[in-house]
């Protein structure tokens, strides 16, 4: 079974081992889910990327040191899918708010729904679906193809709302990410690429699980979910606030590698690492996931404490904290920013150069974004 250790040292070991041993065959093998005990054909780095323990830039640089771009193009594209989804959502922030509101409404509506209960308990008539639910709960991870199949079965065979499925994933996934998760579920539903849904097919599951499942009864003729909701695009203001000597820096749980950040050489009086637990979240997370996040924060504290005065604080602490001398690494759209906005906590932010540069390419589809990948790579050393 996959073990995701909450440590940067382990993350770097995992990155090096994947690049050395498995990256060469990634494009050929990545779509196969060989089962929970065989997870070397993809990198399994996503829990680290979600928490900022490893950055996209760091992963790409390590990969490119070993292979020419043409040999690992597919892997680079996948790493940058995450960047793209994140940038896309930053340009349409109201989608996240709508999603949370939908969940509130649907949770009441489906509270006693038997199909929903059976789905989240892994108690349906579909064996592979039940196995994936169980694996997700046990490990906090699922292979990408299984996420695609599970979400498709959830929406089109079980006929459940995509929003409840996305919430279910966020509760357990160690890489649970506001943008990648919400937008991937919308993609499966046919809302993200309008009119094009992802329909899981029996032959495809059979082939890419290496014949582990067969005779699966699915709705293979489903049509896309339709919505006339259009999201107006904004141009996010990613300008850095002025960094002054003696400021206190806040770091949230998704930027947990300060020593690799653009601001590592700036002087800060103190660093506060900000925890966000279930009492201050809209989506309740599984206790193991809360613990995983907490361990990653502690790991960041250990790595910084020789150089800075570092302490860990709960996000609610910011409600009564004097913010005049405070600056924060921008946490991005999601639960941390929601808490700040709901409590009118107006922070000055610092943005990653990487996001400042790539966000402009997230205005259209991924096909368009892809055209700019060579440009992003050519500037990587300056980002
Ligand atoms: C319904 C659904 C929900 C998902 N929810 C999440 C989520 O909450 N968080 C998340 O990080 N990914 C999510 N994904 C994308 C993808 O499944 C995971 O990123 C991938 O499985 C992680 O495994 P890996 O690290 O071995 O990936 P690899 O194949 O080794 O890829 C390397 C890195 O690229 C990024 N990446 C790869 N594929 C994608 C993708 N399709 N979209 C975005 N980034 C990608 C990840 O950071 C990953 O670590 C979701 C996909 C689907 C279909």
Per-residue pLDDT reduced to its tens digit, 172-208: 999 999 999 999 999 999 999 989 999 999 999 999 9
The pLDDT of residue 245 is above 90: no
- Please list the residues that pair with 249 across neighbouring strands: 271, 327
Average pLDDT score over residue span 372-383: 94
**193 and 228 Cβ atoms separated by less than 8 Å:** no
Distance 146 CA to ligand 1 centre (A): 11
Residue 36: band (very low, low, confident or very high) from pLDDT cuts 50, 70, 90: very high
The pLDDT of residue 376 is above 90: yes
| Segments of 9-108 assigned E as strands | none
CATH class of 8-90+358-382: mainly alpha
pLDDT of residue 365: 95
The pLDDT of residue 119 is above 90: yes
Average pLDDT score over residue span 93-116: 97
pLDDT of residue 212: 96
For residue 12 the two structure tokens come to 């770097």
The CB of 272 under 6 Å from ligand 1? The reply is: no
Average pLDDT score over residue span 137-151: 98
**CATH number of the 96-208 domain:** 1.10.579.10
The CB of 173 under 6 Å from ligand 1? The reply is: yes
Residue of 11, 41, 78 best suited for mutating to test ligand 1, as the one with most atoms within 8 Å of CB: 78
The pLDDT of residue 50 is above 90: yes
* Identical fold between 96-208 and 247-350: no
- % of the chain with per-residue pLDDT over 70: 100
State the helix-helix crossing angle for 8-21 and 287-304, rounded to 10 degrees: 100
The pLDDT of residue 1 is above 90: no
Distance 247 CA to ligand 1 centre (A): 35
State the helix-helix crossing angle for 127-139 and 162-172, rounded to 10 degrees: 40
pLDDT: which is higher, 246 or 200: 200
Specify the pTM: 0.98
Torsions phi, psi for 270 (to 5 deg): -150, 160
**CATH number of the 247-350 domain:** 3.40.50.620
pLDDT of residue 2: 86
Residue 343: band (very low, low, confident or very high) from pLDDT cuts 50, 70, 90: very high
The CB of 175 under 6 Å from ligand 1? The reply is: yes
Q: Which atom of ligand 1 is nearest to the CA of 148?
A: 53
Q: Looking at ligand 1, which residue's alpha carbon is closest to its atom 5?
A: 181
The CB of 139 under 6 Å from ligand 1? The reply is: no
Residue 383: band (very low, low, confident or very high) from pLDDT cuts 50, 70, 90: confident
Distance 144 CA to ligand 1 centre (A): 6
Task: Kindly state the DSSP code that residue 26 receives in the 8-state scheme.
Answer: H
The CB of 135 under 6 Å from ligand 1? The reply is: no
The CB of 155 under 6 Å from ligand 1? The reply is: no
> What distance in Å separates the CA atoms of residue 176 and residue 167, rounded to the nearest whole number?
10
Average pLDDT score over residue span 43-47: 98
- Residues 6 or more apart whose CB falls under 8 angstroms from that of 258 comprise 249, 251, 264, 271, 300, 304, 329
Q: Looking at ligand 1, which residue's alpha carbon is closest to its atom 17?
A: 144
Q: What residue segments make up the domains of the chain, in order of their start?
A: 8-90+358-382, 96-208, 247-350
> What distance in Å separates the CA atoms of residue 267 and residue 248, rounded to the nearest whole number?
9
pLDDT of residue 39: 95
The CB of 205 under 6 Å from ligand 1? The reply is: no
Average pLDDT score over residue span 222-248: 94
> What distance in Å separates the CA atoms of residue 313 and residue 344, rounded to the nearest whole number?
18
Is 364 in a helix, a strand, or coil? coil
The pLDDT of residue 304 is above 90: yes
Residue of 173, 175, 190 best suited for mutating to test ligand 1, as the one with most atoms within 8 Å of CB: 175
């Amino acid at each position: 079974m996959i073990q995701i250790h909450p440590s940067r040292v382990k993350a770097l070991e995992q990155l090096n081992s994947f690049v050395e041993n498995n990256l060469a065959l990634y494009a050929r093998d990545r779509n196969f889910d060989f089962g929970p005990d065989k997870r070397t054909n993809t990198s399994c780095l996503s829990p680290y990327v979600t928490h900022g323990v490893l950055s996209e830039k760091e992963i790409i640089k390590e990969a490119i040191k070993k292979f020419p771009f043409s040999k690992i193009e597919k892997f680079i594209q996948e790493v940058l899918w995450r960047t793209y989804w994140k940038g896309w959502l930053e340009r349409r922030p109201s989608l996240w708010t709508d999603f949370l509101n939908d969940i509130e409404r649907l949770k009441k509506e489906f509270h006693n729904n038997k199909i929903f209960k059976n789905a989240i308990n892994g108690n349906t008539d579909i064996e592979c679906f039940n196995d994936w639910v169980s694996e997700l709960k046990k490990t906090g991870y699922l292979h990408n193809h299984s996420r695609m199949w599970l979400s498709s079965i959830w929406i089109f065979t079980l006929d459940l709302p995509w929003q409840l499925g996305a919430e279910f994933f966020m509760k357990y996934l160690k890489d649970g990410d506001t943008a990648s998760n919400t937008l991937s579920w919308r993609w499966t539903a046919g809302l993200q690429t309008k009119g094009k849904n992802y329909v899981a097919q029996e032959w495809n599951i059979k082939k890419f699980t290496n014949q582990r499942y067969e005779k699966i009864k699915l709705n293979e003729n489903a049509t896309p979910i339709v919505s006339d909701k259009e999201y107006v695009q904004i141009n996010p203001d990613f300008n850095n606030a002025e960094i002054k000597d003696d400021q206190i820096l806040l770091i949230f749980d998704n930027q947990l590698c300060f020593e690799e950040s653009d601001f590592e050489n700036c002087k800060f009086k103190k660093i506060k690492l900000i925890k966000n637990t279930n009492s201050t979240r809209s989506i309740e997370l599984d206790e193991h996931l809360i613990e995983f996040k907490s361990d990653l924060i502690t790991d960041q504290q250990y790595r910084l404490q020789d150089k800075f005065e570092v302490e860990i604080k709960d996000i609610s602490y910011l409600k009564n904290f004097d913010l005049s001398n405070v600056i924060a690494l921008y946490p991005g759209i999601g639960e941390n920013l929601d808490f700040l906005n709901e409590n009118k906590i107006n922070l000055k932010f610092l943005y990653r150069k990487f996001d400042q540069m790539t966000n402009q390419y997230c205005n259209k589809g991924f096909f368009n974004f892809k055209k700019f990948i060579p440009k992003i790579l050519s500037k990587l050393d300056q980002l």
